[in-house]
Amino acid sequence: MSRMHYYIAVPFFLLLYFLQTTLIWRLSAENFAPNLLLVATSVFSFLYNERYGLVLGVSFGLLLDITTSPVLGVQALSFLLIFIMVRLFRLILNNEKLLPNVLMALLATPVGSLLYWAVGRMAGYPTHIKYVFETMPRLLLWHAILAAVLHLLFVKTVIRHRGDRKFESEFEL
């Protein structure tokens, strides 16, 4: 059991959702914006044993889809795939370390972007893959920074008895 709770996580994801759809674009002067919910899903999936990444990632992905995406289900599906990917890597990586968490966000970025692009193409939108790759380096940089910030913000809530070296929590997918 971690010290994270839904009454903390839900408002946090809600805040990220509104920032994602409003403020972030006003601050970004170029043709891209970091995907806050994607990074949060990756970080929460990696940090906690509980399925915050799954529940909140898929829920808020669906909300993003309903309110902003041209295709329903694409963000939710990409967040689900990110959750599964991160949980599998969590079997071999230490979830309390900063670098693995940043690495997970970096791996999650192309998963999200490419799935979104592929589905958009299937739906008939003309977005070119070159356009997606052009923004990728800056997206990776911003996602790495965001993942680091979220990790530092929440790592203290990962284990209930952090000082107890014998305390171990069970792992579940």
Partner 1 sequence: MKWFASHKALSILGAIFLVLIVLLAASVALKDQDTAVGRVARTIVSVAQKPFKAVGDFLGDHVPGMLSDEDLLAENKELEARVAELEEELLLARLDEQELASLTSLSAILNGDGQVAGYNVVAADVVAYEGSSVFNIFTINVGTEAGVVRNSVVVSGDGLVGRVLESGEGWARVISVLDENNNVGLSITREGQTFIGTCQGSGEGTLTGMLLDETAEAEKGDAVYTSGLGGIYPPGILIGKVSKAQLSEETNLMEVTITPATDIKGLKKVGVLV
Segment near partner 1 (CB under 8 A); pick from 3-11, 39-47, 56-64, 154-162: 56-64
- Read off the tokens for 63: 């909300």
Choosing from 7, 92, 124, 137, the residue that interacts with partner 1 (CB under 8 A) is 124
> Cα(138)–Cα(163) distance, rounded to whole angstroms?
38
Which residues, including other chains, have CB under 8 Å from residue 149's CB and lie 6 or more apart? none
Choosing from 4, 39, 90, 112, the residue that interacts with partner 1 (CB under 8 A) is 112
Give whole-number Cα distances, 96 to 2, 23, 49, 165, 169, in Å: 12, 30, 12, 14, 13
Q: 133 vs 157, which CB is nearer to partner 1? A: 133
State in angstroms the smallest separation of the CB of 147 from partner 1: 16
Name the packing angle between helices 52-67 and 6-18 (round to 10°): 30
Q: Considering only residues 8-27, where is the footprint of partner 1 by CB under 8 A?
A: 18-27
Does residue number 152 form part of the binding site for partner 1 (CB under 8 A)?
no
> Cα(42)–Cα(82) distance, rounded to whole angstroms?
6
**Please, what sign has the CA dihedral across residues 63, 153, 47, 116?**
positive
Segment near partner 1 (CB under 8 A); pick from 72-80, 92-100, 150-158, 160-168: 72-80
Nearest to 54 by CA among 21, 81, 20, 18: 81
Q: 30 vs 164, which CB is nearer to partner 1? A: 30
Does residue number 71 form part of the binding site for partner 1 (CB under 8 A)?
yes
Contact of 41 with 108, CB cutoff 8 Å = yes
Binding mask 84-103 for partner 1 (x = CB under 8 A): x-------------------
Binding site for partner 1 (CB under 8 A): 18-35, 37, 54, 58, 63-64, 66-77, 80, 84, 112-113, 116-117, 119-120, 122-128, 130-132, 135, 138-139, 142, 172-173
